Structure 1
Amino acid sequence: MTKLAMLGGTPAVPRDIRQVPWPIITEEDRKAVVTVLDGGQLVSNAENETAVRDLERRFAERTGVAHCVGVSNGTTALSLALAALGIGPGDEVIVPSLSFIASALAPLHQMAVPVFADVDPVTFNLDPADVERRITGRTRAILVVHLHGLPADMDALGDLARRHDLAILEDAAQAHGALYRGKPVGSLGDVAAFSLQVTKNLPTCGEGGLLTTDDPALAEKVRMGRQFGEVIESGRPRDYISYFLGWNSKLNPIQAAFAASQLDRFDDYARHRQDNVTRFLDRLRELPGIAVPGAPEHATHAWHILRFRFDPAALGLPEVAPTALRDALRRVLRAEGVPMSQYQLVPLPEQKVFTDRIGFGSGYPWAAAEGTAGPDERFPVARAIIDDSLTLQKRHLHPDSGPLLQRYADAFEKVWQHRDVLAAVAGRAS
């Protein structure tokens, strides 16, 4: 039996193959950026054709919607979408208890109250039954996150939205290219928000965001909202009149050009990623005590993040607490060269910004909606997922990551042969 790296053995993943670049920057990407610099159209509201408008048209077409609006990042995309939907002070927006912090901050930016719902233990997405029990007379929207790249249960959530006259905002920041019953995410609700942040499956050279919708009025409100509430139209002189409260949330043409160049290779990268990740997960699926991510028959997974849950009893370590096993696995696997991370440390409702209810001061926006569930409410599934899971991020995005992922599988299999060491490490950590 091979000795574990943490005990002096040779790591399963050689050090010289551990660093995997993302995004992949090609000469085409560099040319796209230089073309914008040389052309002089350096802001999105320039009079002539810009790289932003080009990216908007292309992304709308591939997402199957009528309109796309480029903005500064994925978080502002969420806030602008809520503003365009008319969400305001005292309104409630249902948000999953497991997501990146931006999903829950966006309602706060509108002086609305995020109402958290628990998630499904397998998909990690919103649990429609828990969503339904949290709907009140103040609920105005459901913010649906396609977490880690897997589409949420849009049939059930869409039915809830129709019955209760609620808007659906898709947070598709991690799910570019994923399909639900053959339709792309970003076309499944009233409006959707995407991130182009440099770590995403469709990256730009820094920060960026996109909104998609079939509603022309919503699209126009977002366009106005991204630039001070002004009307910006080609061929019309700028009047510098703010028609409603807006922001300065424009997407830079350099970032748009870089993202558009990346879009040329997106489908090819996604196909390679699908093959690489599937072969990796097939090997891990054979190990006891580990639940690997997957997708139902009616959906595809974008594989932005891979989250694994661990069961001590199924692993033959019933005396070990889930958190102790998680921490032990993180330590042992990282020593083997597998960069496992915990990612979220607490469910969203336990973030200080929500438990302390500082917001905009004097308890707002919660004070505008008395009776909202308090910060002491528990979300058992989200908490359990955080307690017993680890994630793998970014390394698997590269289309040539197949051999590296197979080394990761070697490391998992090696560690699983040393359950006695795992038990000892977990015992010291508990």
Structure 2
Amino acid sequence: MSRASTLAVDGGDPAVTIDDPERWKRPIEAETEIVTDLLEAGAISGSGSGFPLEFEAEFREYSGAEYCLTVDHGSTAIESAFYAVGVGPGDEVITPTVGYIGAYAGALHLGARPVFCEIDPKTLLPDPADIERRITDRTAAIAITHWNGRVCDMDAILDISDQHDIPIVEDAAHAHASEWKGEHIGSVGDIACFSLQGVSPHGKPIAAGEGGIVTTNVREYYERQLSYCHLHRSGVNDELTLEPYDGLDWEVLGLKYRAHPLALGIAKVGLENLDYRVERRLRYRDRLFERLEELPGVRPVWPYEESETDGLYGGLKVVLEPDELGRSPEVVVEALTAEGAPVRGPGFSYMEHRRTIFREGYDLWGRGRSPIDGEFCGLPAYEGYQEGDFPISEALDERVVTVASYIEPEEGFVEQVTRAFEKVAR
């Protein structure tokens, strides 16, 4: 057997020889120009006027939402969204265990108890049927995450929302350009939250260091957000038109979660090239997945047919079938890595019910005052989660692999990665 056909882990030549495949470069000159202009103008603080207001209008138009508000982080965007929909002490918020603490931490700190749910094994996104099974008279919100830009089943989830009169808070930190039935995420559901964390091309789809965006079509939610976290926003008293917010002064409720104008300057450049990067990244995904799905024991995770993903953050997901491969996922990943394939795993990055605070409980504010430690504001005694509580998610955690994705990969890179999978699958 030739060295090229022998597995690299057994001493053969690796299939992937291109070490740094990404050829797309972020437009630093454009970022520098807009940041310099803001610095020279002294426009480096404030909200509700000038450049920050212009950016909100631009993203509002892009998303198709009625209202848009910028904040300092994606996590505070989600916290303000929970406040906007009325989450408070003694409530429950349903969210997937294959999730992220930032997607529900805001609800926890507002006094609500996270209630985890299973994922759909086909898409690895929240399972609408399991969400509905976990609804109680204490459920105040359903918090979903569009992982890696893959959009959740919005038809089913919004139907649950309508039937039970429970608002949906969307963690869209990975989904700035994602769509459901041709409509941008941000305008489809009740309220959507975006992150601007990181640096392109490896940060969030629009990356500006730090920052966040919230969009909604509900005026009540928008005004509650303004009152919650936009201290000293220009013109805030003119924007607050509904009771009881119209009675607040310009210091509203005292929190200042405003976005930094310099971050929004960088974000504007990212928004301008977002669609190009998405189109190129999806082209890479399609070429790779169409080859991988021909292999035994390798199942690429596609989005729902009704949606399109932006695919710009967190990589591509592939589920391994050890019975077909005849080897454990750990052995398969080791072999793929030896071939030079850009993979990591097996396993999800996060499994929320396994966190210590949710297994053992946690006295959040001290002196026995916590939604996840004993009884609290009408919530029953907290019991904690155990291994085996989420058999579908836990089983998939043993088999899911993340494959890095690229905007403009070096010529021949897709073929090399495909060859790595082919060798290992064989």
Shorter-chain-normalised TM-score: which range? Answer: 0.7 to 0.9
**Secondary structure of the corresponding residue to residue 314 of structure 1:** helix
Structure 2 CA distance for aligned equivalents of residues 388 and 38 of structure 1: 52
Structure 1 CA distance for aligned equivalents of residues 323 and 228 of structure 2: 52
Alignment correspondent of 2:413: 404
Are 1:248 and 2:256 counterparts? Answer: yes
Unpaired runs of 5+ residues, structure 1, are 418-430
Asked if the contact 2:80–2:225 (Cα under 8 Å) also holds between the matched residues in 1, the reply is: yes
Matches within 5 A, 1:179-198: 179-198=179-198
Alignment correspondent of 1:302: 310
Bigger Cα displacement from structure 2, 246-255 vs 133-142: 246-255
Asked if the contact 2:100–2:350 (Cα under 8 Å) also holds between the matched residues in 1, the reply is: no
Bigger Cα displacement from structure 2, 327-336 vs 109-118: 327-336
Matches within 5 A, 1:198-213: 198=198, 199-213=202-216
Structure 2 CA distance for aligned equivalents of residues 31 and 221 of structure 1: 35
Are 1:386 and 2:397 counterparts? Answer: yes
Alignment correspondent of 1:314: 324
- Report the RMSD for the aligned CA atoms in angstroms: 2.4
For residues 289-312 of structure 1, the C-alpha deviation after alignment (integer angstroms, 9 at most, x for no partner) is: 011011233211222331111111
Asked if the contact 1:201–1:397 (Cα under 8 Å) also holds between the matched residues in 2, the reply is: no
> Shift in Å at residue 81 of structure 1?
0.5
> Shift in Å at residue 100 of structure 1?
2.2
- In structure 2, do the counterparts of structure 1 residues 414 and 64 end up closer, same or farther at CA, with 3 Å as the change threshold? same
2:348 to 344, 351, 363: 344
Structure 2 CA distance for aligned equivalents of residues 23 and 142 of structure 1: 38
Asked if the contact 2:46–2:233 (Cα under 8 Å) also holds between the matched residues in 1, the reply is: no
Matches within 5 A, 1:70-89: 70-89=70-89
What is the letter of the counterpart of residue 261 of structure 1?
A: V
Alignment correspondent of 1:357: 361
For residues 23-70 of structure 1, the C-alpha deviation after alignment (integer angstroms, 9 at most, x for no partner) is: 723321221222222221101338x512x2222111111111111111
Asked if the contact 2:195–2:211 (Cα under 8 Å) also holds between the matched residues in 1, the reply is: yes
- In structure 2, do the counterparts of structure 1 residues 372 and 63 end up closer, same or farther at CA, with 3 Å as the change threshold? farther
What is the letter of the counterpart of residue 249 of structure 1?
A: Y
Unpaired runs of 5+ residues, structure 2, are 239-247
Structure 1 CA distance for aligned equivalents of residues 98 and 127 of structure 2: 11
Alignment correspondent of 2:275: 267
TM-score under structure 1 length normalisation: 0.86
The number of equivalent residue pairs is 401
Asked if the contact 2:230–2:252 (Cα under 8 Å) also holds between the matched residues in 1, the reply is: no
Q: Which runs of 4+ in 1 moved over 6 A?
A: none
What is the letter of the counterpart of residue 313 of structure 1?
A: D
> Shift in Å at residue 253 of structure 1?
0.9
For residues 221-265 of structure 1, the C-alpha deviation after alignment (integer angstroms, 9 at most, x for no partner) is: 22332335x5642799xx986443x53322111111111111111
Alignment correspondent of 2:53: 53
Alignment correspondent of 2:384: 374
> Shift in Å at residue 371 of structure 1?
5.2
TM-score under structure 2 length normalisation: 0.87
- In structure 2, do the counterparts of structure 1 residues 188 and 96 end up closer, same or farther at CA, with 3 Å as the change threshold? same
**Secondary structure of the corresponding residue to residue 70 of structure 1:** strand
- In structure 2, do the counterparts of structure 1 residues 356 and 242 end up closer, same or farther at CA, with 3 Å as the change threshold? farther
Structure 2 CA distance for aligned equivalents of residues 272 and 313 of structure 1: 34
Asked if the contact 1:202–1:259 (Cα under 8 Å) also holds between the matched residues in 2, the reply is: no
2:38 to 33, 36, 39: 36
Alignment correspondent of 1:281: 289
Structure 1 CA distance for aligned equivalents of residues 294 and 339 of structure 2: 20
What is the letter of the counterpart of residue 285 of structure 1?
A: E
> Shift in Å at residue 340 of structure 1?
1.5
2:217 to 195, 208, 214: 214
> Shift in Å at residue 415 of structure 1?
2.0
Alignment correspondent of 2:100: 100
* Percent of residue pairs bearing the same amino acid type: 31
> Shift in Å at residue 192 of structure 1?
0.5
